[in-house]
Structure 1
Amino acid sequence: MKTTLTVLLIIQLYGLASCAIKQHYFIDQMKTWNEAQQYCRTNYHDLSTFIDEIEEQQFLQEAVSQTSDAWIGLNKESGTWMWATGEVTTRISWDNGEPDNHFCAYLHKDKKKLHDGGCTDTCTFFCMTVIVNTVMVQQSESWEGALEYCRHHHDDLASLSSSRSMTDALSKITGAQTQYVWIGLRFLAGGWFWISGDDLILNVWSSAGPPQCPAQNQRCAALDKNTQTWTPRDCEEKLNFLCF
């Protein structure tokens, strides 16, 4: 029952931190939409998204370096335009006559309006980082205790889904009082996942990859401050932890 309640809690509450600030970067490399997204998720956070008018204006201010048509994090799934971070679109600044009959969106380099294009076409693209304040909590809790603490006092357990967030975390854990530090990575329903909903692309496991069938008492992940890798630990172990 306890595990079931935990699963429901995670499903109901995961998502980008409410205090997140986005920064956008023009990447002058030619890739398909899927290749661009994989690049962004590995090196930044994701393809750029702007889900409301305020975010759109910020994005356009940071898009001044754009020299060619560039993918953004918007594509059509099952007939619905979706942001790459999972939100259903409520408004899209399409150019006149758009969209046509394609499934991925790009920003026109001159008009600064959105067009749709073939997802296998190659374009430059925009990546974004999602800036959050990572907090090192020098209090020892179980994984679930750390999750509850972070959601009560901050936003969530930290998800280290990109090389940038990993680097930030490593700079914060030097003061940890425990060798291992809880992060927002959990094994449930047959797989490891970030509780933020981010894809598990970055691989910083202490082994060659994520443990496929971890023991029942090894299903929560912690960051080892000595080896600077992720490692499965007993969820009831009392450790310091990282919050967003």
Structure 2
Amino acid sequence: MEAWIGLHNNNTWRWSLSGLHFNESDTKWGSGEPKDGKNCGAIWKNSKAEWEAVSCENPTHFLCYNDKDSSKKLYFFGHEKTWYEAQEYCEEKHTGLVGGTQQLKELEEACFCLGLGSNQSLEQHQKKKQAELFKLNNGATYVTMESLLNFCTIDHIFIGLTRETRAWSDGSRFSFTFWDPRKTGNKDCIMMNDRGELISEDCTDKRPFICYTDQVILIKENRTWEEALYYCRHHHHDLVTITNMDEQIWVQEKTKNASSPFVWTGLRYTCTLGFWFWVSDEVVHYKNWASPEQVNECDMSGAMQTGGEHQWFKKHDEEKFNFFCSR
């Protein structure tokens, strides 16, 4: 038996950093770009930092962005990796691959001397921007001028820009690749057979279909934890509960669409009894704390990080974030 699922062909570019919206009018593609079949973005040094669509599998240099560093050293550069390896490295060690028009503009000023007035000293401005932005990925506080100038002359640098060739109808990202080898193709809509393999077919074909009800809803409004709790209980069921790894993976996929650095969950600390609990009355067995050694305080609740490894953080109730409701 074969049945339609909510997967379809797509051809849209997006920033890999959470919360960054890709605007086609702000793009800086070079002549003839983006090329078909090349699904990852890079800065092309020889074309005055214009963007180029390149193969995701060919290793090259890359830049990480870090919004956790309290200093102004926000950018970290690494050695050659594939785009996917670079993205994984940046998310694990920092926040993600560098992306967005503002970050790339700063990079251009630091490395390529673009956008500067004629009355400015290019060398002085460049050194100033480099000192503000760069730190080596080995943790060194400063970069030697020689190493930085070598980096700034690299022809291609991966950035956090990627093309999604397929997408789920609910907006989730697609990464599953278990295709039926006998029925590969490039039709626009996707079915699944009884072996769980994917098949592309014409969207006009009439076939059985599979529906599902999503039990987790991301509310993209910034509210305090208590305001989020009342909202969920009034409009849906409750703030979300995460009791195992499968639920964690399901929920964290949705954080990629959040507009705040953290997202509230139904995790709450009771100061009176001295332990964490879920507002649904579930016991906290499964844990995904980023810093379990962090001191527990009154008026703290649990929030999931939007980027990185989507770990849980202890946050004060009055901070305002997006939040997850359960049905």
TM-score w.r.t. the length of structure 1 is: 0.43
**Structure having greater relative contact order (Cα 8 Å, sep ≥ 6):** 1
Higher Rg of the two aligned structures:
2
